[in-house]
Structure 1
Amino acid sequence: MQRITTRYSSSPRHVDGATTDELRSQFLIESLFAEGEFRGSYIHDDRMLVAGAVPGDDDLVPSGFEVLGTESLLEHREAGIINLGGPGSVVVDGTAHDLDNFDTIYVGRGSEIAVRGKGARFYLVSALAHTTYPTRVILRSEVEPVVISDDRGAGARRLYRVIWGGGEPTCQLQMGFTVLEPHSVWNTLPPHLHPRRTEVYLYTDVPADARVMHFMGEPSNTRHLVVADGEAVIAPAWSIHMGAGTAPYSFVWAMAGENTDYGDTSGVPVTELR
């Protein structure tokens, strides 16, 4: 089964006077993961597509994308796929690539994909591509994390960059994940903007009785979303993004847009938030 929704571009004015339901409808992607289904959202900001794919007993093969105007998902696109569940495989052009928890595969434009492995939980992010780069597997065990210490606050974390401008080439996709240290709650502090890119946060490993308070909006006009496990938040170029959890959690970050310069950000001091 396959289901793709559409999220149209938004402006800062979308948050002025918006109700909680209106904010969630515009910026929060819910119910991405269901066994035997490929569920996603096509985001008009930078033409990103994010999806959850949970295979059952049989291979799950995404095909027929009316929203893209193509039969194949990656006819004009590249993708990063990360496994957030038990062991599974991503099949690319007939070749199976095994992925354990937090292992990632980059798939170049023009490939056909399927996923398999009951108990696996795949999260896919796709962006438009102007050329084809080779498929490659990035194992968590082979990635040296960026260790971010925070002796003063509660934001110590390990940041894993798996698809990014400092590694193997991509057209525009960047992707990675961040794991918070014990007793830390903040995932990105201070917050920042990406004036030339769109970013999506997918929260994972959030206990069923916990939530993440995700902050968004312009620095001078902030709002928040209450986010559960397996839910994603769209951060347009004009919106900050940061969050604090009520229990330990991790999140997957992904970007697409003007460039693949990981450092192309605009920091926002906490003292400027309103």
Structure 2
Amino acid sequence: MITVLTATYNRAYTLSRLYESLARQTNESFEWVVVDDGSTDNTLDLLAGFQKESSFPIKVLRQENAGKHIAINTGVLAEGHDWILLVDSDDALSPDAIEVFLNDLSAHSAQDIVGYCYRRADLDGRLIGNVITDVADDSAIMLPVVAGPLYGGDLAYVFKRSVLLKHPFPRFEDEKFVPELLIWNRISDDGKILYFHHKFIYLCEYLADGYSANFYRNLQRNPKGFGSFYKEQIGRETNLVRKLKCTIRYVQCVLFNFKNRRVM
């Protein structure tokens, strides 16, 4: 079985879509673990209703508002299955997502594979990012630093619970965001991640109040979290232009951190 892990904060208005996509799965060999990050809307009431009617197990955890990355840590620490599929609370899964992953796990199982990665599509099923045509195989072992520029869009990861336990997100005082790629990179140092060039199991919608739409503001508010990522990324990038961009971002983080401390 697999654990579908969702961190949520004031997303009662989108959670039903995710729940309905889970209820439509062609394979129910999964549990849904939801970590409520201190929501002030009716998220908990909604989840309680899901638990009463659901045909699959739902576990609800609650923490004081600390950010999505800490909520992921909380969910990983909870007793769960060997593999964890991370799904945001404003997104959904394709009906065959669990079945596709379990088939791939059986077909491509190897001791040194610690993660599987799929493409994302919009809610209408259109692939997000670049269409890959000049490859011989449907999948490849890659590093996240290579996969990001290749695909040009957000990706859907399934990781071994053991590596997520080994590499928890760091907590920074007075900040509530750390880029996920910081941890995905560290995980790739421990083992291989298999990327599927064309398969998508994840459906998403970018909201006006989401992280993607508010990057610069999040950078200003969370310079230590972003700074930890860009500092490591400088050494990981092989492309000189991307290395320079990461260096500029890191300098911005240092300046924002200095400015924030002066304000406090």
Normalising by structure 2, report the TM-score: 0.28
Higher strand share: 1
Where relative contact order (Cα < 8 A, 6+ residues apart) is larger, the structure is 2
